[in-house]
Chain A
Amino acid sequence: AQSVTQPDIHITVSEGASLELRCNYSYGATPYLFWYVQSPGQGLQLLLKYFSGDTLVQGIKGFEAEFKRSQSSFNLRKPSVHWSDAAEYFCAVVLDSSYKLIFGSGTRLLVRP
């Protein structure tokens, strides 16, 4: 079945440690790829996006993501996590010209002091 998978429901890291959140998709063609962040009770903020070209994309707040076609993955990374990064992170794809987003189930990031 076509889907966006975020295999980790929760991840806990220590402040200052590196972070990688996983995202895989299962669609025939390469979709447009996005990462959104949602702080508690807040809306969705776009961290970064991939449409084409360079497979390593830089986003806001020091985040980056790498598109790997062979693995159908678009993992989100940050070299050093800050306490303010604690939030829910959603991977999402766009498959067609309607630009409708299909979201993964999210990964909740907890940051230990």
Chain B
Amino acid sequence: EPEVTQTPSHQVTQMGQEVILRCVPISNHLYFYWYRQILGQKVEFLVSFYNNEISEKSEIFDDQFSVERPDGSNFTLKIRSTKLEDSAMYFCASNEGLMNTEAFFGQGTRLTVV
């Protein structure tokens, strides 16, 4: 069964460093998303990406964040200068973009900023 894969599963970084979280969405999917879940809290939408551009972003997705689909298969989330409060689980998801279809989630990357 096709699945969304995320790497790494866990990343520890120092405050102020740049991190890139990687995702490989399901191959025929057209919509890609990043969500964030701070420990013990709910899952929050960060950004959606369609047709090689951001289609929507939340208030959380400020100038420190960027997304890219560099090669037609990977979908990356970059945090330019990490802060302690960026520590969270980051989930990638993808969707076919057809009527009545659901999003499929990766297993997540746990980011710890120290």
Contact = CB atoms under 8 A, between A and B. Distances in A.
Interface in A16-70: 32, 34, 36, 41-46, 49, 51-52
**Range, interface on chain B:** 20 to 34
Contacts of B97: 99
A43 B91 contact: yes
A11 interface: no
B42 A100 contact: no
Interface in B82-113: 91, 93, 95, 97, 99-108, 110
Interface of A: 32, 34, 36, 41-46, 49, 51-52, 90, 92, 98-106
15 contacts: A43-B91, A43-B106, A44-B105, A45-B105, A46-B102, A51-B99, A52-B100, A92-B43, A98-B50, A98-B56, A99-B48, A100-B45, A100-B56, A103-B43, A106-B42
